[in-house]
Structure 1
Amino acid sequence: MTAILNPTGPAPFTPPARPVPAPAAPPARDATPPPAPVPVPVGPVLELPGTPTAALVPVTHRGRPVGAFVLHGGRVRYRPVFDPDRLLGAAAGVLAVGLAAAGVAALGRRRPPAIGALSMGPGGWVSLKGLPLPAPRAPRPWWARALRARRLVVER
């Protein structure tokens, strides 16, 4: 997911490591090398042209720029860098969670069958004995309820 929308180019500037002073007399038993210098996540101060001088100090995290300190007019402000990869990843995560929730809701709203379980009789016939009649699938239209209309069924 990295660098989908970020322009590619040269690697970000890493400042040179600070020299570690060598010990005067290394012990004879210890053959481990000295620890490697830790890279500093803050870049060099860049002077910006202009009448009131301004300075820019870039800040990186794991080799990617995350922001910069801007020194202008006696004030220091931190300006974060917009990361479209992080936004795209967050949008994909929200979409995946939404689709999963919609799928669970759709499965939960499935209609039960119109009739219950069927059983086979001794001769291979289907038995619906003891099962209630299925409910009508479509509700009555609003105008039939408003007019109190009755169905055209012969009453016994």
Structure 2
Amino acid sequence: MTAIFNPTGPAPLAPPPRRAPEPAATPAPVVPVGPVGPVLELPGTPAAALVPVTRDGRAVGAFVLAGGRVRYRSVPDPDQVLAAAAGAVAVALLATAVAVVGRRRPPAIGAVTMGPGGWVSLRGTRAPALRPATPRPWWARVLRARRLVAER
């Protein structure tokens, strides 16, 4: 576009007068568009604001604007918390089952068979291990009880 300035031509028209801006009655509410919600002003002496973030209609976090810093705070997903708790319970039950099976003692003697004439045969088995000496119970000490031992 080319402009030709002719000082001898007619006088330029005065610009139209400007209107005073109309005062807004109330601000229109901010409608969230997309995953970021409206800015929420938080009460308090240090000015703070909160911007929620959603995904598929669920809150996933929020941006917190306070003290000249912006921080993102995530919201724990209840489905993930429930899945993690179920996994922890399953691992604890499995570990308990392994510990119980591992602590089971083998029988003190081997196979017991019935011999001729109705007597019990323990042939080919080891003698059971002796039990370790256990301390006397408190009631035996109080009563000054003695062990019953057959004398030979």
TM-score range, shorter chain: 0.5 to 0.7
Alpha-carbon distance in structure 2 between the residues aligned to 1:49 and 1:87: 28
Partner of residue 39, structure 2: 46
Query: What is the aligned-residue identity percentage?
Result: 56
Choose which of 56, 62, 86 in structure 1 pairs with 2:50: 56
Structure 2 counterpart of 1:43, which letter?
V
Matches within 5 A, 1:1-156: 15=33, 40=34, 42-48=35-41, 50=43, 54-83=48-77, 86-121=80-115, 126-136=120-130, 138-142=131-135, 152=149
Flag the 1:130–1:70 CA change in 2: closer, same or farther, 3 A. Answer: closer
Shift of 1:109: 0.9
Larger relative CO (CA 8 A, sep 6+): 1 or 2? 1
With normalisation by structure 1, the TM-score equals 0.52
Consecutive unaligned residues in structure 1, runs of 5 or more: 1-12, 16-39, 144-150
Flag the 1:14–1:121 CA change in 2: closer, same or farther, 3 A. Answer: farther
Task: Give CA-to-partner distance per residue, 1:76-128, whole Å, 9 cap, x none.
Answer: 11122244554344233212211211111111111111111234446675421
Q: Number of paired residues? A: 112
With normalisation by structure 2, the TM-score equals 0.53
Larger Rg: 2
Shift of 1:73: 4.2
Flag the 1:14–1:97 CA change in 2: closer, same or farther, 3 A. Answer: farther
**SS of residue paired to 2:60:** strand
